[in-house]
Every structure is written in C-alpha cells, then in structure tokens.
C-alpha cells in the first residue's frame, strides 16, 4: 500500500530509463507515493566530482526516509557480490543491499519478457531466449529486424512484455520483482 514514502531509482542509461518507466514504474506506484528515475552514465563514475554528487544524492534519499535502488549491469564482473563491492568502493553512503545487478545488461530484461506472439512475428524461438542472463547488447542487436531501429524494437518489446515470462527467463529480473514489487 502507498504510505507516503517515495523511491528513487538510479539507472545506467536511456535504455534502462525507458524499461523502468514503461515496465516497472507502474508496478512500483502501488507501493510508493512517488517514483523518481534518475539516469546516470557509467562514464560519470570516472570523475570524483560525479561520484561525490551521487553519493550526496544517496545520503539525501536515506535522510529523507525514502527508498532508493541503484541499478547497474554486471558487465564483466565475475559475480554479483564483486560488482556490489566495486560500487560500494566508488560511492560513499551506498548500502550494498540497495544495489541491484542486471545480468548481463538491461537488454536481457527487455528480451526476457517477449510474448509468444511477438517472438513468432519476428522469428525468435523460445530456444534462443529461454535464458537471457548472458545476453549482451551485441547479442540483443542480432534480434532486431532490418526494418526496425534499436529504440523502436525496444519500445515494441515493452508493449508486448510478459512479467511471468521475464521472471522465468532471467533470474536477475525475477530477483528484482520478488524484492521490490511482489
């Protein structure tokens, strides 16, 4: 139930922002009075000034008794724990329990939820997307039909998205759903 408390969701880029706006924000709205999605860039974590800015944001979120989630791709980290340790070393004030790791990249969550009718329309077999955890941006791009640009294809996926299929095809998506939505 909505208790007057808000949540800040820090996401890594425009594709992550689109996914959270279209798929997850509506579900979070039943639990929170407001949801603010804040886009950051991985490049920002190369600058001490940017790191300080996000560390200050996180401290402010916690002090205001609102929730926050920091979303990041696993990228080349060997495991979730290692990636969370990397983030905690970079950002003061962050609670590692508030860091959610997307395996492998946000594109894997988009494709994980593809409805059967969408898959058949675009010649995607269940075998190809049975488990999307290891799907990279480059792998995702191979599924994009020639008559679509990348963004349009991603938007179409959000219009034809099954939460249940996504949970079955991607464990990190399932983890997010169980921890923050259900």
Domain limits of the chain?
1-102, 107-171
Reference 172, options 107, 97, 121, 100; nearest CA is 100
Q: Please state, in angstroms and rounded to a whole number, the distance separating the CA atoms of residues 85 and 88.
A: 5
Least confident of 24-28, 43-47, 158-162: 43-47
pLDDT at residue 2 in the model: 56
Q: Indicate if the pLDDT at residue 91 is higher than 60.
A: yes
> Which has more pLDDT, 142 or 128?
142
Question: What is each CA distance from 102 to 8, 84, 99, 122, 142, in whole angstroms?
Answer: 17, 11, 10, 25, 20
32 near 5, Cβ under 8 Å?
A: yes
CB of 113 closer than 8 Å to CB of 165: yes
Q: How far apart are CA 68 and CA 40, in angstroms?
A: 14
CATH architecture of the region 1-102: 3-Layer(aba) Sandwich (3.40)
- pLDDT, tens digit (0-9, with 9 covering 90-100), for 42-71: 777 778 888 889 999 999 998 999 999 999
pLDDT at 3: 64
């Amino acid at each position: 139930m909505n208790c007057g408390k808000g949540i800040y969701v820090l996401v890594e880029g425009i594709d992550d922002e689109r996914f959270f706006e279209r798929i997850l924000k509506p579900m979070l709205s039943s639990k929170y009075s407001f949801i603010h999605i804040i886009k950051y860039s991985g490049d920002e974590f190369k600058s001490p000034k940017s790191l300080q800015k996000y560390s200050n944001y996180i401290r402010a979120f916690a002090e205001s008794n609102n929730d926050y989630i920091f979303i990041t791709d696993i990228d080349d980290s060997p495991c979730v724990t290692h990636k969370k340790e990397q983030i905690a070393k970079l950002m003061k004030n962050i609670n590692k329990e508030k860091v959610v790791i997307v395996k492998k990249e946000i594109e894997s969550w988009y494709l994980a939820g593809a409805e059967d009718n969408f898959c058949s329309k675009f010649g995607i077999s269940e075998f190809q997307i049975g488990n999307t955890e290891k799907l990279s941006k480059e792998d995702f791009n191979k599924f994009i039909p020639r008559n679509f640009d990348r963004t349009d294809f991603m938007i179409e996926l959000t219009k034809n998205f099954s939460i249940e299929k996504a949970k079955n095809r991607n464990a990190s998506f399932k983890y997010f759903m169980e921890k923050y939505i259900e």
